[in-house]
Amino acid sequence: MALSGINSSLKRIKNHYRLVVLNEDTFEEVVAFKMNRWSVYFMVSIFFVLLVGLTIALIAFTPLKFYLPGYNEAGNKTGEYEALKVRADSLEKTLILNQQYLNNIENVLRGNVISHDTAQLKIGKAPVDIAIPNKQKSKPRRRHGG
C-alpha cells in the first residue's frame, strides 16, 4: 500500500503542466510556461538560495552588521581599546604619584618633616616607601639664627 503511494507521488512529480497568463479583456495569451512539479521545486529552491545569499552579502559587506545584536565591534578595535586602557592606567598612576609629591611638598613647607632612621631599613627586602609621611605630626624644628 505504501509503495503505491510513493509511485503515484513520483508520477505526479513528472507530470507536465502548463501555466498561461492571459489578458482578461482580450483573452490574449501573454506568457505561457511549461513545467512540472520538479522544475517548480527546483526554481523555488534556487530563489530561496539566492535570497539568502543576497541577504548575507548585504549584511556582511554593509554597515548593517553593526545593527545586529551579538555582533561585536570590539573584535575589530581590540588593539585600540587595549591601548586606551593602558594609557588610562598610566594616567591614573601618574596622578597618584603627583598627588603624593604635592602632599610631601606641602608637609615640608608646613614643617611636618619626618626623619627616618636609616639603620632600621632592611636591605634585600622590598623597598620601603619613605616618601609618604606618617599620620603623626612632628613638632616644627627651630632654626638657630645666625
Can you say whether residue 111 is alpha, beta or left, with left for phi > 0 and alpha for psi between -120 and 50 degrees? left
- In this predicted model, what pLDDT tens digit does every residue of 25-75 receive, in sequence order? 999 999 999 999 888 999 999 999 999 999 999 999 998 888 888 776 555
Domain that holds residue 92: 76-146
Last residue of a domain, one of 39, 54, 71: 71
Indicate if 59 and 90 belong to the same structural domain.
Answer: no
Residue 122, SS3 per DSSP: coil
Q: Are residues 109 and 63 in the same domain?
A: no
Q: 13-26 pLDDT, tens per residue?
A: 888 899 999 999 99
Predicted local confidence at residue 135, as pLDDT: 54
Domains held by the chain: number? 2
Instruction: Determine the pLDDT at residue 81.
Output: 82
CA gap 107, 138 in Å, rounded: 10
Judge whether 31 and 21 are in contact, CB under 8 Å: yes
Q: What is the pTM of this model?
A: 0.42
